[in-house]
Structure 1
Amino acid sequence: MSLSADQTVEALRAAGEPTRLRVLSLLAGEELSVMELSRILEQSQPRVSRHLKLMADAGLIERFPDGARVFYRLSSDPLAHRLIDTVLDLLEDSAGAADDRRLEEVRRDREAAASAYFERVAPQWDRIRSLYVCESDVEAAILKAAGDGPFERVVDLGTGSGRMLTLLGKNARMSVGLDLSHNMLNIARANVARAGLDKVELRHGDIFATRLPEQSADLVLVHQVLHYLADPAAAVTEAARLTAPGGRLIIVDFAPHQLEQLREEHQHRRLGFADDEMRRWLKGAGLNAGAATTLPPDTDGLTVSIWTAERPAGTKAKAA
């Protein structure tokens, strides 16, 4: 397939303006909110919004509301992506240097806020995690999704207090937990020792670049982590990379909701994930997704979704 002449001209017109080229270059790295783009570009939010609307109308970028915020990312259409890549390849490497510096400031501010939050709440983490739905129901559903085992190697990304390791570790020959918070890791070490598990490795590590071997785990978990991340799709891709042929990836997170206060109070970046969005990420990472399990709360609050996906035997992982 290819773009028609009219479609190509419309797309090039939409891209052919300095600010819009800057936006495309920024979104090539990660999805960003209007407020973040306004800060990086040093332009007013209404002005940035006008540029974004023009590019969205031309099919170059995608707009997705998330609670009261709106995020943007490059179009998932392969032809649009190919045109954007071609245009960006022609730009000078130094053209967006100032934008890149300000993007790094935005990232550092995000990371600092998240790090301070996790260090502060680490001792109460399990209690906070269970505020919105019965945790015993969630854990029962996770055990069912994981299957009977035994597991050769379990990897828990964003392990927090290590609860997933203590839940599944007794049925695993080896387990690995990664987290960016040293305070969390110390609590996880204490919990793992208390549970009598000795074949558990706890590492300070980044979910986007775990440095763990490709296809090395027959069970990978990402439990209540994605809603904190700037690029959840990249984290899904990395988790899938670790999943061995015939192995299983389990993702636990919230369904879409409107509790805006969680952004400020608990550093949530995304207000849940839709099933079709998650299934698209899993498919793009080379996994076959099963039916999602949803666990609504007994009272008003957050619904928990559990997605299970498997890597078909004989397939290779896609690069993260």
Structure 2
Amino acid sequence: MSAIGDSLRLLGDETRLRVLHLLETEPLTVAELQDVLDLGQSSISGHLAKLKQAGLIHDLPEGSARRYRIREDAEGRLRGAWSSVRDLSRQEPQFAADSKRLAEQLRTRGTSWVDRVAGSLHREYAPGRTWESLCHGLLLFAHFGRCVDVGAGDGAMIELIAPQAESLVCVDPSEAMVAAGMERVKTLGLDCVSYVMAPGEDLPLADASCDSVLFLQSLQYVADPAKALGEAARALAPGGRLLVVTLLRHDFAEAERYGHRHRGFSIDELKRWTRVLAEHRVVTLPAETRAPRFQTVIVTAVKGAARSKKAR
């Protein structure tokens, strides 16, 4: 009950609500908030500190200043409380007047949205500019050939992969997942996609029979990841490519709620388990903004051409 009371007290201050309404519209500095709200620096900074401490906003450096914005990953109840208060108070004359002053200030300053987000565009929302749309677009340039998705689950990714593959074999050890995946394939009418129920450590595939093997956040579910990656290498044809998207080593027990058998993997482990392959590339992504801030690592590798007896 104290958490609810804290949220209500935090959002019960009119100045803090004015600040939040403005930040919901535009990430702003203390100086910009001062100009719009006509309040002193110490007052604004004090309210920002309380909102930041509560986890509802965060700030990022911009030159010698700091720009404040609403946290998309704020704690659920707090974010929900703010959403409710925002919707109830949106039409209040005071908040409407603040928004009008902000728009006028930005117009007078002559800065466009593009100019204001230069250097931080990757953190900003823009209509249509989502990771989903970018992935769909970039995948049109991909070619997976004879593809195998290990730990495919219920086929959430097949709509992205199948159009760019000659064939797609989805492998999963769960009977329920395979049944759901087959139903999805039937609904979508994807003739090039098939499902096989099998563990990643024992792929029912002939040697050198595929052009690409994918582990898309599935390796952490496999009992013996080293063996599964060895199986992938065996099944790849010369020149075939391996793609592993998984979690970097972590200490968060929360992952076990999702059935993970492993708390991520180190880069050294992933390279060691795929040492029979070549041309390794490793990319680590920034930690997730949502607690406990898991971090993803991506590894790609290529199977070299088989050496002839004479070359040996």
TM-score, normalised relative to structure 2: 0.51
Instruction: Compute the displacement of 1:149 (Å).
Output: 4.0
- 1:35 corresponds to: none
- 2:290 corresponds to: 299
- Of residues 223, 226, 235, the one that matches 2:219 is 226
- 2:273 corresponds to: 281
Instruction: Tell whether the 8 Å contact from 2:140 to 2:164 is kept in structure 1 after alignment.
Output: no
Matches of 1:143 and 1:309 in 2, distance apart? 23
- 2:202 corresponds to: 209
| Unpaired stretches in structure 2, ≥5 consecutive residues | 1-129
Q: 2:194 is paired with a residue of what secondary structure?
A: strand
Matches of 2:207 and 2:149 in 1, distance apart? 15
- 1:176 corresponds to: 169
Instruction: Compute the displacement of 1:221 (Å).
Output: 0.5
Structure 1 residues 159-198: aligned runs within 5 Å: 159-198=152-191
Matches of 2:237 and 2:280 in 1, distance apart? 15
Instruction: Compute the displacement of 1:228 (Å).
Output: 2.1
Computing the radius of gyration from Cα coordinates, the structure with the larger value is 2
- 2:228 corresponds to: 235
- Alpha carbons of 1:223 and 1:206: their partners in 2 closer, same or farther (altered >3 Å)? same
Q: 1:208 is paired with a residue of what secondary structure?
A: coil
Determine if the alignment matches structure 1 residue 267 to structure 2 residue 256. Answer: no
Q: 2:180 is paired with a residue of what secondary structure?
A: helix
Instruction: Compute the displacement of 1:276 (Å).
Output: 1.7
Tell which has more relative contact order, 1 or 2 (C-alpha 8 A, sep 6+). Answer: 1
Determine if the alignment matches structure 1 residue 311 to structure 2 residue 303. Answer: yes
Deviations 1:138-191 (A, max 9, x none): 8967996x8934333110111101123222101112110111111101211222
| Unpaired stretches in structure 1, ≥5 consecutive residues | 1-135
- Alpha carbons of 1:185 and 1:240: their partners in 2 closer, same or farther (altered >3 Å)? same
Matches of 1:234 and 1:292 in 2, distance apart? 22
Instruction: Compute the displacement of 1:293 (Å).
Output: 4.1
Q: 1:153 is paired with a residue of what secondary structure?
A: strand
Give the aligned length: 178
Q: 2:157 is paired with a residue of what secondary structure?
A: helix
Given residue 263 of structure 2, which amino acid in structure 1 is its aligned partner?
L
Matches of 1:194 and 1:255 in 2, distance apart? 35
Instruction: Tell whether the 8 Å contact from 2:248 to 2:296 is kept in structure 1 after alignment.
Output: yes
Deviations 1:183-222 (A, max 9, x none): 1012112222333311111111121111201111111101
Instruction: Tell whether the 8 Å contact from 1:152 to 1:218 is kept in structure 2 after alignment.
Output: yes
Instruction: Tell whether the 8 Å contact from 1:254 to 1:272 is kept in structure 2 after alignment.
Output: yes
Instruction: Compute the displacement of 1:229 (Å).
Output: 2.7
Instruction: Tell whether the 8 Å contact from 1:142 to 1:306 is kept in structure 2 after alignment.
Output: no
Given residue 212 of structure 2, which amino acid in structure 1 is its aligned partner?
L
171-180 or 189-198, which deviates more? 189-198
Q: 1:257 is paired with a residue of what secondary structure?
A: coil
- Of residues 243, 247, 253, the one that matches 1:254 is 247
Q: 1:280 is paired with a residue of what secondary structure?
A: helix
RMSD (Å), alpha carbons: 2.7
Matches of 1:219 and 1:280 in 2, distance apart? 19
TM-score, normalised relative to structure 1: 0.50
Instruction: Tell whether the 8 Å contact from 1:166 to 1:191 is kept in structure 2 after alignment.
Output: no
Matches of 2:305 and 2:249 in 1, distance apart? 32
Instruction: Tell whether the 8 Å contact from 1:296 to 1:303 is kept in structure 2 after alignment.
Output: yes
Structure 1 residues 141-156: aligned runs within 5 Å: 148-156=141-149
Instruction: Compute the displacement of 1:312 (Å).
Output: 1.9
Matches of 2:134 and 2:284 in 1, distance apart? 12
